[in-house]
Structure formats: structure tokens, C-alpha cells
Amino acid sequence: MSVFGKSRKLILGLGAVTGATTFYYLNNDRFKAFASWTSQYEPSPCARWDENWDQRAPQFIKNKKTKCAQRNDENNNEDIEKYTPKAVRHVILIRHGQYNLEGQTDEERFLTKLGRLQAEYTGKRLAELGLPYCDMVKSTMTRAQETGSIISTHIPNVPVTHCDLLREGAPIPPEPPMGSYRPARYKFYEDGARIEAAFRKYFHRADPKQKEDSYHIIVCHANVIRYLVCRALQVPAEAWLRLSLNHASITWISITPSGRCVLRAFGDAGFMPPNVISST
């Protein structure tokens, strides 16, 4: 047999072994490759997306006739179609402008001159975007009220409401603990439930009857926004203090008909001159 023939058999043999080995590795859980296998990072058990996070996934909505909307029949398919949203809900979160840190009460923590200027830029930016805003909800704290009022001068036709759930607070003990942020444990106990209630109230997919995309503005506070973002993205909520927000910045989350949440912008203040931007 020629050298070429021997080489050909050797190559074919190696190919067969390689193919079998590859098949074994791909079909053996011990050698399962994760999406992030290049960094040797093993995803957290909580990394899987919860499709029914807002309790509005159509396939989980109970059917009064069948008591369960998960039956595999024509009636069930019709129910799923009936309860499936058709539009996107856009939630635009605005942090208040810089305020008087020396104030002892909420009333004394009003916007500084710089904070009012920041709110002006944000109002102009929202007006320039030209989106069909449905409403604006403001935290009832002074600095958020003032920020929202300045923004309203630029989008005067947007109806405004007020909500105590959006007031600043301590949402959940951060992990890891950072800096000097050490509120009393009862603050987390009190504020956490309230801020979580705000998430459940304002973050959910569109109503199935909604035909067009909607745009909702929420003017509130850094801790609240950071917590809401973590919850919407299904990132561990304890990570909220790892995020940083500029004053009067824009954070934008889109909630798709499928329930997937997309972070389109976080703490955006690029529409302001550099000398106007601040975060503390």
C-alpha cells in the first residue's frame, strides 16, 4: 500500500474518532457549554427569564370556563390570542434634579439653581423626542414635584398625577454593602414593600385592548429607579446600589407584548452640557 493510502486511512480514522468525541461531548451534560463558555462563567440558577413576571402572560391567565388556560385545544388557543398584548409599553423614568442637601425636611430639600436648569434640559429633550406621551406620574416629594413641573412646561398637554409609592426610600439591603449607606433595618422593611408596590403598579405588559404603543413618564428618585430597573430586567434586586444615576437623567424601559423588558437608556444625560451634569 502506498504512503498516500496509509495517510488517507489514518486521516479518515482520526476524523471518525473526532466526530464520535464531539458527539459525546455535545450530548453529555458533564461537558455542557454555557452561552458564556468563553469566560468560564457559569450562569446563576436565577438567570432563566420568568415569562409570567407580571402575572399577565396570556398562557397563564385562567379561563373561567375551563379553569385553566393551558389546555391544548382550539378554545385555549383563542383565549391565548384574546389575552395577548399587541402594543409596547414604554416607561420613561426621570430622576429629579440636584436639590438642597442641607435641608432637614422634605420641604427644605428643594431644587438648587443647577437642579432647575437640569430639569429644563430634560423637559426640552422630551419635547424634542416628540413622542405621544400618555401621562406623567410624579413622586410626592418636593424635588420630584418641582422637576416634573418644570418638565411640564415643555410638554404641557401631558396629564399629570401624583403617587406616594414613588417616594425615595431604602428598597432592599444592597449586596455588597457600599460606602456609608446604612439605614436602619426597619427602613428596608417599610420602604421595600412600598417601592415593590410601585413596580407592580407601573411595570407590566400592555392591556390586550391597547392598540398603539404607549409612553409613560415617571418622575421620582435614584434609589427607586435603580430598584425598578433591576426588577424589570430580573437582575437580583440587591444589585441596585451598584448602579449610578445622573440628576434629571432619562432611563427608558420598553415592555414588549411578550413581556420581555428592554433597557433602551439608563441615566442618560448626554443632552446636557458637561458642566451641567451632576449625580450627587
Alpha carbon distance 130, 151 (integer Å)? 14
- Name the pLDDT band for 41 (thresholds 50, 70, 90): confident
* Mean pLDDT, range 59-80, rounded to an integer: 58
Cα distances (Å, whole numbers) of residue 178 to 181, 183, 239, 243: 6, 12, 11, 11
Residue 197 structural domain: 89-276
Tell me the three cell numbers of residue 44: 446563576
Q: What is the model's pLDDT at position 45?
A: 76
Q: How many residues are given for the chain?
A: 280
Q: What is the percent of the chain where pLDDT is above 70?
A: 80
Is 69 in the same domain as 189? no
Is 78 in the same domain as 161? no
Crossing angle (nearest 10°) for helices 113-129 and 142-152: 40
Omega within 30 of 0 (cis) for the link into 183: no
- Name the pLDDT band for 224 (thresholds 50, 70, 90): very high
Residue ending a domain, among 63, 83, 103, is 83
Helix residue spans in the chain (DSSP H): 3-26, 74-83, 113-129, 142-152, 185-202, 222-233
Is 53 in the same domain as 173? no
The top-scoring range by mean pLDDT among 1-5, 46-50, 93-97 is 93-97
Three-state secondary-structure class, residue 220: strand
Q: Residue type for 211, please?
A: K
* Mean pLDDT, range 191-209, rounded to an integer: 96
- Name the pLDDT band for 31 (thresholds 50, 70, 90): low
| CATH number, residue 157 | 3.40.50.1240
274, exposed or middle or buried, with CB in 10 Å at 0-12, 13-18, 19+?
A: exposed
Residue 69 reports pLDDT greater than 50? no
21, exposed or middle or buried, with CB in 10 Å at 0-12, 13-18, 19+?
A: exposed
DSSP state of 121: H
- Name the pLDDT band for 37 (thresholds 50, 70, 90): low
Three-state secondary-structure class, residue 30: helix
Q: Residue type for 199, please?
A: F
* Mean pLDDT, range 96-109, rounded to an integer: 96
* Mean pLDDT, range 83-93, rounded to an integer: 95
Residue ending a domain, among 83, 102, 128, is 83
Among the listed ranges 6-10, 74-78, 107-111, 256-260, which one has the minimum average pLDDT value?
A: 6-10
- b/e map 6-20, b = 16+ CB within 10 Å: eeeeeeeeeeeeeee
CA nearest 57: which of 261, 269, 258? Answer: 258
Is 69 in the same domain as 103? no
Three-state secondary-structure class, residue 71: coil
- Name the pLDDT band for 158 (thresholds 50, 70, 90): very high
Residue 260 reports pLDDT greater than 70? yes
* Mean pLDDT, range 107-120, rounded to an integer: 98
Please give the angle made by the CA atoms of 9, 12 and 16, to the nearest 5 degrees.
Answer: 135
Q: What is the model's pLDDT at position 119?
A: 98
Q: What is the model's pLDDT at position 80?
A: 79
Q: How many domains does the chain have?
A: 2
